[in-house]
Amino acid sequence: MKLALDTSQSSGSIALLEAGKLLYSAYFDIRVTHSETLMPALDNALKICGKSPGDLDELLVCIGPGSFTGLRIGLATIKGIAYGLGLSVTAYNSLQLSALPCTISGKNILSVIDARMHEVYAALYLPDLGIIQAPKVLSPINILSWDLKAAIITGSGAGIIRKVLEAEGIKAEYAPAYFCIPRAEGLFSLADLLPSPSYEGESLSELVPLYLRESTAQVKRQQKLST
């Protein structure tokens, strides 16, 4: 049985897959910290499906970019499970996960996540998720330098980009709102579409969050020091 986990944003999601069948999927808006909700959510998922941790044989996780705290907690949890059960972990980034539902459009995909601090995390993909613009953090206005012709825009930062493009009189296609919410079960599909290295045993120490920039607290600290 496979477990997929995403805690990259202010929301979290988990999913279980067995023999190609989705057994469980839960998306939940986080009102408290991931540390207080994640383990109970995982325990509940296994209980509902009549499974135990020993039934797991493969783990998938989203490594960001996104919430610094959420990513640390999610990775610590998945590594703990991997170490304890001797399992491997396959990782994908949150921009890939956000872009996944739009692969059915047959168009290039601009995947955007709100990075706060007046910035976004963004990547531009081909319809098969081949990379046109690799994940990076940038000001929304800088998206105008990317070739967005025939691209569909998705992700939690889509609304931010929409304001920028509309202010410039640029028309674009946007994914439905329900497409913009990443769900952990998408990691199973990503594993079928995109080969990605697995981490297990000692190599789990090499599995780290994809931050792209320093935390908000670190940025603010540097800004104070520079004034």
- Structural domains in the chain, CATH included, are 2-94+182-226 (3.30.420.40), 95-179 (3.30.420)
Contact 164, 140 (CB under 8 A): yes
Tens-digit pLDDT string for the chain (227 aa): 999 999 998 778 999 999 999 999 998 765 555 567 788 889 999 999 999 999 999 999 999 999 898 899 899 999 999 999 999 999 999 999 999 999 999 999 999 999 999 999 999 999 999 999 999 999 999 999 999 988 999 999 999 999 999 999 999 999 999 888 889 999 999 999 998 989 999 999 999 999 998 644 444 434 333 44
Name the token pair of 142: 């800088």
Sheet holding 198-199, edge to edge: 21-29, 11-18, 2-6, 58-62, 89-92, 198-199
The alpha carbons of the chain give a radius of gyration, in whole angstroms, of 18
Name beta bridge partners: 109: 125, 152
Q: What is the pTM of this model?
A: 0.90
The number of beta carbons lying within 10 Å of the beta carbon of residue 127 is: 17
